[in-house]
A = this chain, B = another copy of it.
Amino acid sequence: MMDTHRRPRGGTGLPAADERRETAEQLALTLSEHGMQRMAARVLAAAIFAEQPTLTQGELTEELAVSTGAVSGAITMLTSVGLLERVPAAGSRRDHYRLRDDAWARLFSRQNEVVEAMLRMARHGVEITSDEGHARPRLEEMRDFYEFMIGEFPALIERWQQQRAAKGR
């Protein structure tokens, strides 16, 4: 988009941190364009791209250059949906957070909730529409589609878990 020229790889200690930050921000942008709150997306991206094993709220505040309040709210949201977890750090007053182990499968599963919501509405639509108009058949197809997807997803996730376990792990 803006600065397309590749830096000759092999450069020793160049602005690698900048590139990392920029890539993280791009990820955050994509996530927020698809329904995730902006600050939550930035925090999640920062947690993914962090070189440290865990991050404190203070570190996130500094990395993202935002207020402590914004970070606090985003963390509450991310932990509540299971993407981030609080790591017990003995003898520290600060809370340490990291990406949950199965974050990607979780993020995907959240989309299943959308699919379930769509299915519910399709079924409800079929119920309340007349069998004489044109709405009913559309809703039946919508229902069939989402039923199909709901049926396929568990096996899909399971195959992923297996492949993952088989691989390095």
Contact = CB atoms under 8 A, between A and B. Distances in A.
The binding surface of chain A is classed by DSSP as helix
Given A104-B141, A141-B104, A51 B121 contact: no
How many chain copies does the complex carry? Answer: 2
A31 to B, nearest CB: 8
Interface in A120-148: 121, 124-125, 128-130, 133-135, 138-139, 141-142, 144-146, 148
A97 B27 CA distance: 35
Given A30-B117, A139-B48, A23 B108 contact: no
A-B pairs with the 9 shortest C-beta distances?
Answer: A51-B133, A104-B145, A34-B35, A35-B35, A27-B121, A53-B134, A19-B128, A30-B117, A49-B135
